[in-house]
């Protein structure tokens, strides 16, 4: 039996939640803890048996994790933050220009 990584995260809470979901659904898994002395820390890894991979990926998506680390290439929450910040600043600039033009 061979383990394969289906999810990676730096958040211990995410790893624990997914581990419990896998356990509840009878998926054989293991959670690898981060190794502090690595040059590039990986964080927590959830691995499942190759036979359980498809079921695990379905559970990841169904429970809102979207498999954004390995299963898919969905946008990260940090990326969304920058988009919202850019749009917000753009709105402030446009409002400032409109107000300054009306004052003249």
- Contact call for residues 30 and 42 (beta carbons, < 8 A): no
Q: How many CB atoms lie within 10 A of CB 34?
A: 15
Answer yes or no: do 64 and 85 share one domain: no
Tell me: the pLDDT tens digits for 56-88?
Answer: 999 998 888 864 554 444 445 566 778 888 999
pLDDT reported for residue 71: 42
Same domain membership, residue 53 and residue 10: yes
9 and 59 together in one domain: yes
Domain that holds residue 104: 75-104
Instruction: Tokens 């402030």: give the residue.
Output: 92
Do residues 63 and 22 share a domain? yes
pTM: predicted TM-score of the whole model, two decimal places = 0.58
Whether residues 52 and 28 share a domain: the answer is: yes
Rounded CA separation 31/45 (Å): 6
CATH number assigned to the domain comprising residue 3: 3.30.70.1530
63 and 94 in a single domain? The answer is no
Pinpoint the alpha helices (H) of 25-76.
53-62
Report how far residue 98's alpha carbon sits from residue 100's, in angstroms, rounded to the nearest whole number: 6
What's the pLDDT at 73? 43
* pLDDT for res 90: 94
Residues 27 and 68 in one domain: yes
| Total domains present in the chain | 2
Query: Do 36 and 11 have their domain in common?
Result: yes
% of the chain beyond a pLDDT of 90 = 47
Is there a single domain that holds both residue 64 and residue 83? Answer: no
- DSSP per-residue codes, 21-33: HHHHTT--EEEEP
30 with 69, same domain: the answer is yes
Sign of the C-alpha dihedral, residues 63, 66, 67, 71?
Answer: positive
Both 44 and 59 in one domain: the answer is yes
Whether the per-residue pLDDT at 39 is higher than 80: the answer is: no
Would you state the pLDDT for residue 72? Answer: 43
Residue 75's pLDDT is what? 46
């Amino acid at each position: 039996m061979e383990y394969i990584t289906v999810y990676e995260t730096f958040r211990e809470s995410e790893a624990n939640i997914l581990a419990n979901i896998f356990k509840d659904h009878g998926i054989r898994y293991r959670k690898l803890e981060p190794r502090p002395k690595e040059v590039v820390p990986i964080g927590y890894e959830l691995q499942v048996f190759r036979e359980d991979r498809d079921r695990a990926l379905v559970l990841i998506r169904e429970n809102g994790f979207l498999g954004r680390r390995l299963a898919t290439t969905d946008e990260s929450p940090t990326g969304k933050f920058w988009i919202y910040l850019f749009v917000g600043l753009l709105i402030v600039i446009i409002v400032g220009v409109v107000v300054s033009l009306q004052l003249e």
